[in-house]
Structure 1
Amino acid sequence: MIALRVIARLLDYPDEALFHHQAELIEALESASEVNLRHSARLVNFIQTLFARPLLDVQAEYCELFDRGRATSLLLFEHVHGESRDRGQAMVDLLEQYRADGLELDSRELPDFLPLYLEYLANGSAERAREGLGDIVPILALLAARLQQRESPYAVLFDALLSVSGTDVAAESLQTQVEKEARDDTPAALDAVWEEEQIKFLGEQGCASAQQAAHQRRFAGAVAPQYLDVAQATTRSTGS
């Protein structure tokens, strides 16, 4: 799964090391059989266009796109659990999954950081990689649709991931939903996040609800309501 490694690197924060290996990334894609010619060509064009720009400009755009607001966050559980307490347990579960497969994190990135998750999948079999991508297809499709709406070139990376997953979910199917969303990366929206929320005390009803929510900790089983229609409509392809 060479393409997953390349896309993981392209989705990570751009640095000088990345810009020094343009030729190697393109060469790797040429031998990546898991992506078809159309997606491979689009990935190569993305690399050439990105690396033709000043690094500082690319870094600033990356931060604006992925670090402002939650809509395009690369933290997977941000789209599933938000800031709920279930997110912590989901992190623990994912770390245990990494360790069970013989991997130990040596970075300060959170385990649900998408580039890290893609690196993990790339270290296994093609079947496991497709299953792992299938678990997050609703998130990938929604991110692709949001990036397309913002006319971001990063959208092609998510289109390629959807193709590798072997599913028939396309970002275009979510365009209507995305068009109705309010942007969460505006100054007003960002200020609202920092406003102090009203303190609420849980009674017995709240505790019962919290216990029920504790069972919703993983990708497919804990997809937020807005993703359910997409998840239920996903049909896994039988092709390679």
Structure 2
Amino acid sequence: MNFAVIEDSRSQAEVLKALLKSEGHQVEVFSEGLACIEAMKTRSFDFFVVDWTLPDIGGDEVLKHIREKCGWDVPVVFCTARTEEESAADILRLGADDFIPKPIRYMEFMARVQGLLRRRKSARPGPLRIGGIEMDLEGRRVTLAGVEVDLTQREFDLAVVLLRNIGRVLPREELLSSVWVRDNEVDTRTVDTHASRLRKKLGLAGESGLMLTSVYGQGYRLDTVQQG
């Protein structure tokens, strides 16, 4: 597993790195949140350990970027000196998988990490196959009639929601809250734009065996259709 440790205390970061490497993991350390965000443009990580208080940006901003870039399957653990119940609830509500109070108890830290890794392994989803479309949820790849299709992250996430709700009318507001979870600056027109792109890219006008229909005043419905 490839870990990213975002921690501005060099001594703390080196201890965490040594612990994780002793279990056979690859570890890259970042002393600032923006450095990690920049690295995510060219490198992929399987697990993030984040200090809540960083010298440049807040841990919540780092978490937002992780979820936007990597989705919700990648574990994120926060290390924080803010141990009061309200702060812990805030961290989990924002989308973290767990938090470790500082000073870190290293045996507990490793036990929590291993627990999340086991949970991730057992929950690893199989491919989603409907009509001529196959979606590899783990690798975030999609093929149409065996040919790989290039989708943006939002297009991929929207396609997953639609394919998991065949025959059901999905209101635009529900799609917006499911796919654009942390982005308050988008509106329902964004859903329409992405739905239009998916219709073309994935043959959702019937070519793939699926038909994406706009339901007036409500939202979208994806149905299976007979191919001639």
TM-score (norm 2): 0.32
Structure with greater helix percent: 1
Scaled by the length of structure 1, what TM-score is found? 0.31
Greater strand share, 1 or 2?
2
Q: Which has the higher contact order (CA 8 A, sep 6+)?
A: 1
| Structure of higher CA gyration radius | 2
